[in-house]
Structure 1
Amino acid sequence: MTESGAASNFIREMVLADHATGKHGGRVVTRFPPEPNGHLHIGHAKAICLNFGLAQSVPGGVCHLRFDDTNPTTEDPEYVKSIQDDVKWLGFDWHDKLFYASDYFERLYEVALDLIRKRHAYVDSLTADEMRTYRGTLTEPGKNSPYRDRSVDENLDLFAKMRRGQFPDGTHVLRARIDMGSPNLNLRDPVLYRIRHAAHYRTGSAWCIYPSYDYAHPLSDVIEGITHSVCTLEFEDHRPLYDWMVAHAHTSRTPQQIEFARLNVAHAVMSKRKLLELVDRSLVAGWDDPRLPTIKGLRRRGYTPEAIRNFCEHIGVSKRDSVIEMQLLEHFIREDLNKRSNRVMAVLRPLKIVIENYPEDLTEEMEAVNNPEDPTAGARTVPFSRTLYIERDDFLESPPKQFFRLAPDREVRLRYGYIIKCVGVVKDSTGTVTELRCTYDPETRSGGPQAQRKVKATIHWVSAAHAVEAEVRLYNPLLTADLAAIPAGSDWTTYVNPQSLERVHGCRVEPGLRDTVPGVRYQFERIGYFCVDPDSIPGKPVFNRTVSLKDACAKTGTLAAK
């Protein structure tokens, strides 16, 4: 751990050392290179914070935002805009360093021609099944394709015809000529180009051959002058291929690939393919569903960019895969919201109480502190009247020994108000408690002469005549099991938690929340942190529970990965 409490970062140390020694001419140029085929999630947030943070760690450091848009069948301008919005919301700016791999298509094609001329690439006409057979296995070497020794002229002619669209999809590919006997399967003549008669969202129908990721990615790094190409561990076996591509690009620019462990969060879906399946099958409400670990979902749920950045800084980077418990992320959002969120009173499951000795026509204004953590937050007034709502869970007719809240013949303090005593219970025909009859001690108003009279519990409330009806959405883990624990071949979506969303209607909140703005965050006293949802309309607010008040990490002192 560093003095700031952040986990150690071996990549940052490497970058600082390279900068100090003048490697790469003293430059530090990183990039965040998403494929625009989906919306970003918390794992991408870690990569964003890492790459932009590395650039910010040295004077003159630069981080590019580059879209690796080489697959026309899955990419969409909607994703491009969404990714840019998410990066900016997290607090980072690429300034004028916005790039697209599709802008390099012509240059990538010219490099491919050079590889063919130097016999480092050839056009292969094996079918996809034949290629898999020829490739070999982890224990058996591959075999050379019968087309591997085509002449340079024949390869150039075939590749030119591929570009002109003279062949159907799948009839030919361009492959690198490396080593079919290599123990690293990625070096067994990998595919560089495929025929794909599909329009690209930026280049239209100008191309019908598209470069592979393993080809376009390292060459894009070279073109942009990237110094440190940071990626997740699954690309570690691809590093020899990355280095081969850079070496055969014949450039003085030699970006360095560095791998780190990706972020895995327990009971969270961290695969864009699986997230898309959830959305397409309407198992969630969309990419911004607050149950999802997408940046849009977390934002709608009420998470702040500061909390996400602090979380990413704390977990750091390592070379070992691990699973982070969701409670750790929740710790950081609680810590942040505790400092920035105003307190309000809300009753999720109302139980009416009538204070029998309180004047029927009287309404008092009780002064309430907005945020005790922020001296500048000031105070507000909350109306108090004869008829109130309290939480149903704050009353038990036959309480156990350790229950100190309201019960028959028992006193509690109303937050910012008086001490009351339950003197009667009203039930309906089913025996359900529908109303409590209470009395109050007028000398015990908060701030009054007997305000310090001791009782064992303080509960929150809202005035029935003034409260605003609201919907509250409570969220639980989306999955009932970790994806890694789900049996192979089974339908993982059957593990979607049917209790992951609970809509609570008929809640009551303070009158000041009647027309609150979507995105504003509050602490509902004694309940948790909540955010106003975009589904709210004037007079009918909807609140998403961001996180409860209980913090298991702080209680146990464990702020580490599992």
Structure 2
Amino acid sequence: MENEHFLSRLIMDELERGPFARRMCTRFPPEPNGYLHIGSAYAIHTNYTTAERFGGKFHLRFDDTNPLKEDLEYVHAIIEDIKWLGYDPGGHIYYGSDYSDAIYNAAVSLIKRGKAYVCELTPDEIKDYRGTLTEPGRNSPYRDRSVEENLRVFEAMKKGSYPTSSKVLRAKIDMASPNLNLRDPVLYRIIHAEHYRTGNIWCIYPMYDFAHPIQDAIEGVTYSLCSIEFKDHRPLYEWVFQELEIPEPPRQREFGRLSLTGVVTSKRFLRQIVEGGYVDGWDDPRLPTLRGLRRRGYTPASIRRFIEEIGSIRTQSTVDISLLDHSLRQELKASTISVMAVLRPLKVVIMNYPETTAGELLSIENNTENEGLGRREVPFSRTIYIEKDDFMEEPAKGFHRLVPGGEVRLKGAYFIRCEEAVKDQETGEIIELRCTYDPLTKSGSGFAGRKVKGTIHWVSAAHTVKADVHLYDKLLKSESAPSGEDGSWDEAVNPDSLVIVKDALLEPSARDAQPEDKVQFFRHGFFCVDKKHSGREGGLVFNRIVPLKDTWNKPS
């Protein structure tokens, strides 16, 4: 428990000393250049629940100060995803680009105080002058420009007098600092590109490390809660407040960064996977994006439960992805209706069953763990389909399903005995089973204590609903994601991460399933109606969310 709530305890201790006269406030500042993922959800949860615990506010603020990558599409998607997760910011949705004048004025103020200067070194030269972890940096030859000249050139930068990347505004701190982030960091750069909100009004844009503290101060944020990789940036965050003489400045506090086994959360790598055609877009159910998880069938409650189970972490931590599956499985197993679905059909003719087209209606429980979900009526008939894997002509040891001369129970129906296996004369493949049934073994009627070891599922041939079924496995072969530096994921991606079963046969209750509805396929796992592909030409598509047990193996 010591590690679980360290962030809340730290903030509680600080607030007891009364550093702020204003209400507690946190924020989540995504850049609208991609879609949120499971790691984003962890950061959102941390900021939202911390504010909630201390009676504060939670702000969503878009870090939209780079016109080259940002788009309104991502803005809408991020807002929708955050609300779907259950962390609605209400009216507290803001945009960094709305503070452009204030940030520019802050830069001018730093120039006037002798704390910032315009530098004309090229990006490569700036990197070279910066030094290394063991070597101090060197001062820029433009570092000692006069305040007047810096103001004049910076104003010309704003007016568009210079080409992209030809000049930058840098903070004047310490080129010998052991913290590389304090070696005269860039505050502004020139970018001649249209911004999705401000158009062409601006051609200079602030860097995140400069814009972020000013935006926090404007909004009255008290705590900038961010992941551990920003810890070395904290001195720069505090330097901006100190030099601008901001009263009661916000405080930056860090928490551990979440990684999941076998999952890529880097935006750059995700983009390579998407644009390389390895998946079906940003909402592919194999991706850890919130859009992908939602399409797969994960619920907001299961994601929140997963994050709460992890608790607050101090350092970089890797969590087994199966914990997320477990959180979802715990929710679904008592809340979803069970449906019989045959993915690889084998025809069965029950020779002594009456030939009727109407079908006998059998009452079957919707969920064996939750009687409150009631029962449903499922039609039964002379011709049914079972799974091919539920029959073996030469049974292996421990096989307890249907065999020649053997007997099994049909889920919610009768005992049947296999009398004959019909084979294709050319291929030798078994294409039909001819069976008999015992009418005295009807489920629920008390059949004199007779027992069989196996129960299998089935669908009535005359009443089937066809659907495509997507069986998902892990996207990557390895538990640890490769670097992907060359942009090629050919060797890393699991070629069997998606298996599509065409024309699976489902019981008729599945006919009315709607996008994002979740059901349990008896013995196969939990499934969700794919909202992207279902409905095209009247077809249904089901995505397997997770198997019934904690395994990624496909159903046998």
Counterpart of 2:326 in structure 1 is 331
Figure out how many residues of one structure are paired with residues of the other and give that number: 548
Supply the AA of the counterpart residue of 2:539.
K
2:124 to 103, 123, 129: 129
Greater shift in the superposed pair: 353-362 or 9-18: 9-18
SS at match of 2:260: coil
Residues in 1 aligned to 2:551 and 2:392: alpha-carbon distance in whole angstroms:
27
Supply the AA of the counterpart residue of 1:424.
E
Counterpart of 2:539 in structure 1 is 540
Counterpart of 1:173 in structure 2 is 168
Per-residue deviation at 1:320?
Answer: 2.2
Counterpart of 1:469 in structure 2 is 466
Residues 1:452 and 1:231: Cα distance change in structure 2 (over 3 Å)? farther
Counterpart of 1:295 in structure 2 is 290
Per-residue deviation at 1:376?
Answer: 3.1
Residues in 1 aligned to 2:528 and 2:521: alpha-carbon distance in whole angstroms:
10
Per-residue deviation at 1:116?
Answer: 0.2
Q: Is the contact made by 1:141 and 1:180 (CA closer than 8 Å) also made in structure 2?
A: yes
Q: Is the contact made by 1:343 and 1:524 (CA closer than 8 Å) also made in structure 2?
A: yes
2:493 to 466, 476, 496: 496
1:457 to 443, 449, 454: 454
Counterpart of 1:67 in structure 2 is 62
SS at match of 1:198: coil
- Unmatched runs of 5 consecutive residues or more in structure 2: none
* 1:217 pairs with 2:212: yes
Residues 1:328 and 1:405: Cα distance change in structure 2 (over 3 Å)? same
Greater shift in the superposed pair: 435-444 or 15-24: 15-24
Residues in 2 aligned to 1:328 and 1:215: alpha-carbon distance in whole angstroms:
38
Per-residue deviation at 1:350?
Answer: 0.8
Give the aligned CA root-mean-square deviation in angstroms: 1.7
Identity among equivalent positions (%) equals 54
Where does structure 1 differ by over 4 angstroms across 4 or more consecutive aligned residues?
482-490
Per-residue deviation at 1:489?
Answer: 5.7
Residues in 1 aligned to 2:512 and 2:373: alpha-carbon distance in whole angstroms:
20
Q: Is the contact made by 2:482 and 2:492 (CA closer than 8 Å) also made in structure 1?
A: no
Q: Deviations over 1:115-157 (max 9, x none)?
A: 0000000000111121111111111000000100000000000
Counterpart of 1:394 in structure 2 is 390
Residues in 2 aligned to 1:50 and 1:342: alpha-carbon distance in whole angstroms:
33
Greater shift in the superposed pair: 342-351 or 150-159: 342-351
1:30 to 18, 22, 26: 26
The 5 A counterparts of 1:265-414 are 265-361=260-356, 363-414=359-410
* 1:79 pairs with 2:77: no
Per-residue deviation at 1:268?
Answer: 1.2
Supply the AA of the counterpart residue of 1:56.
E
Counterpart of 1:415 in structure 2 is 411
Q: Is the contact made by 1:514 and 1:540 (CA closer than 8 Å) also made in structure 2?
A: no
Greater shift in the superposed pair: 121-130 or 202-211: 121-130
* 1:529 pairs with 2:530: no
Counterpart of 2:549 in structure 1 is 550
- Unmatched runs of 5 consecutive residues or more in structure 1: 554-562
Per-residue deviation at 1:540?
Answer: 2.2
Q: Is the contact made by 2:518 and 2:527 (CA closer than 8 Å) also made in structure 1?
A: yes
Per-residue deviation at 1:369?
Answer: 1.3
Residues in 1 aligned to 2:418 and 2:487: alpha-carbon distance in whole angstroms:
55
Per-residue deviation at 1:524?
Answer: 0.5
1:206 to 187, 197, 201: 201
Q: Is the contact made by 1:302 and 1:531 (CA closer than 8 Å) also made in structure 2?
A: yes
Q: Is the contact made by 2:385 and 2:458 (CA closer than 8 Å) also made in structure 1?
A: yes
Tell me the TM-score normalized by structure 1. 0.94
Q: Deviations over 1:390-415 (max 9, x none)?
A: 11111111112211111111111111
Residues in 2 aligned to 1:120 and 1:527: alpha-carbon distance in whole angstroms:
65
Residues in 1 aligned to 2:247 and 2:299: alpha-carbon distance in whole angstroms:
42
Q: Deviations over 1:359-397 (max 9, x none)?
A: 111621111112234443221100000111111111111
Residues in 2 aligned to 1:157 and 1:220: alpha-carbon distance in whole angstroms:
25
Per-residue deviation at 1:336?
Answer: 1.1
Supply the AA of the counterpart residue of 1:152.
V
Residues 1:237 and 1:499: Cα distance change in structure 2 (over 3 Å)? same
Residues 1:318 and 1:111: Cα distance change in structure 2 (over 3 Å)? same
Per-residue deviation at 1:318?
Answer: 1.4
Q: Is the contact made by 1:267 and 1:479 (CA closer than 8 Å) also made in structure 2?
A: yes
Counterpart of 1:153 in structure 2 is 148
Q: Is the contact made by 2:410 and 2:456 (CA closer than 8 Å) also made in structure 1?
A: yes
Residues in 2 aligned to 1:246 and 1:396: alpha-carbon distance in whole angstroms:
74
Q: Deviations over 1:253-293 (max 9, x none)?
A: 31111112211111111111111122222221111110111
